[in-house]
Structure 1
């Protein structure tokens, strides 16, 4: 019998700074109910899904900065999501900005959680590959201050056996790094869930602006193929506070093929029935790590010569 998990990618359109968390959660609930009515097992929301993407702005006031973060999950504002997931018997992935009091100090992370069909949090990941810069760069039309506002994630990439398969999480810029996919692949991950907020314009490298959608899908499709996994990849898209963010939310098969994709840059549900057994041929043949992968030899040229080989 095939192992079918029906996945829903819940793309969000822009979230204005004036929109409250309660208003955003109502948008998420509309998408969740639609997904459940269409038979979804899990719905995946974007990175930092509860607010506008504040790392685009320079913030000096500590209280103002803290206001963009969640100090508890579920919180009063997000509790309806958990209650509705339990009622509808649907799992969900949620990206948010986490303010934790750990190690005797205040810590901030770009975080994602996986919630099962009972409404219980069963997995948590903190973003490792933080893009952008830490200092104010006024020449930019907008900032990318994740290195200022977040710590590097300290939970590693874990996979969880739940809801019919082996599930893994990553966030936004992680998708561009093969190591993120491979660490999850080595754990037998069959479904990766990731959200992103990606501007169409890169002020530091504007020549790549026309390639943003291509590079987005390239990195995710390659990661799926090279690790024999499905992925549900979900954007917060459209013009948010004057900044155009790419869409392209999609569901990708272990073959690397996109099987479903968003058509616009607003709130939109993209769904696919994903057979997790489709991962098996890739994991047992082409990407059978135990048989073919040889990490013990990867560094031998550098070890022998003390340098990279000549061009």
Structure 2
């Protein structure tokens, strides 16, 4: 048995005025709780250090850059790395990354038990729009503030398992899981900040959005025989509600742990990586069953092309 005790560190709302230091203190409290629960790995949400700032229209470069981290770890986050190292716990969390070249990405990193960064992922599927949209109930400007990720969907060997990452909207795209599945992934970790209501369709509320989020993650887990850990930042951020619904999903697509609140909350499950083996060697034995000669459209076109 290759067991990893995983903690999903859901975070409640982060208000616009809340400092990195205040946020990291909350992350440390969850990390200490995870240590008490015997966790080997803690998964934090997307943009874990700040409010979900893409809801705000900004055109001043310095104002935008204030939401981004130029290095990782930095002064604000170093206590998190130090505490994780002291506990011997690997961590993954999301943040807004500004590169030395001035590029901007929605990023997640993964550490080992010693606090060393062993993996980095940059969000590929950016939702929303790039210009102010007066017809939306609120803005969702990820396409304005971030570039699409340029690192693909790598996996890393960590804690004696093959691990991969994605972020938020990525979870809705089956190609994401399959890219990692074709590399033998056994654990997909993802954070999200998802509004509780669709900004373009007010009838799509919390119930529907929780359903679609869970559907995406459970299907991805089952179809690739992998564990999936999805962790939310949730609650009311300055009048803008984000949904919760953090879950841990086993390789058969069953939810084995689920958050009960919209606040800071740790969900824990002992995940056996060997539980992936049956699915990967039977119904989802890709080498035996995939027929790539029929999949050309998946990489040769983006939008729908109707048959002539």
TM-score by length of 1: 0.94
- Residue pairs, 1:251-266, within 5 angstroms: 251-266=248-263
Q: Which residue of 2 aligns with 1:295?
A: 292
User: Using the alignment, how far apart are the partners of 1:129 and 1:299 within structure 2?
Assistant: 20
Q: Which residue of 2 aligns with 1:35?
A: 34
Q: Runs (4+) of structure 1 moved beyond 3 Å?
A: 307-310
Following superposition, the deviation at residue 96 of structure 1 comes to: 0.3
Give the match's secondary structure for 1:231. strand
Aligned: 1:186 with 2:182: yes
Q: Which residue of 1 aligns with 2:44?
A: 45
CA deviation vs aligned residue, 1:191-250 (integer Å, no higher than 9, x gap): 010000000111213333241000000000000000000011000001111111110101
Question: Equivalent of 2:111, from 95, 110, 115?
Answer: 115
Give the match's secondary structure for 1:217. helix
Q: Which residue of 1 aligns with 2:278?
A: 281
Q: Which residue of 2 aligns with 1:71?
A: 70
- Residue pairs, 1:64-103, within 5 angstroms: 64-102=63-101
User: Using the alignment, how far apart are the partners of 2:10 and 2:202 within structure 1?
Assistant: 25
Counting matched residue pairs gives 301
Task: Indicate the RMSD between aligned Cα atoms, in angstroms.
Answer: 1.4
Q: Which residue of 1 aligns with 2:213?
A: 216
Give the match's secondary structure for 1:129. coil
Give the match's secondary structure for 2:6. strand
Unaligned runs of 5+ in 2: none
Counterpart contact for 2:137–2:200, Cα < 8 Å: no
Following superposition, the deviation at residue 164 of structure 1 comes to: 1.7
Unaligned runs of 5+ in 1: none
Q: Which residue of 1 aligns with 2:156?
A: 160
User: Using the alignment, how far apart are the partners of 2:80 and 2:7 within structure 1?
Assistant: 15
User: Using the alignment, how far apart are the partners of 2:168 and 2:133 within structure 1?
Assistant: 22
TM-score by length of 2: 0.95
Aligned: 1:11 with 2:10: yes
Counterpart contact for 2:47–2:95, Cα < 8 Å: yes
User: Using the alignment, how far apart are the partners of 1:298 and 1:251 within structure 2?
Assistant: 30
CA deviation vs aligned residue, 1:39-62 (integer Å, no higher than 9, x gap): 000000000000001000101111
Give the match's secondary structure for 1:260. strand
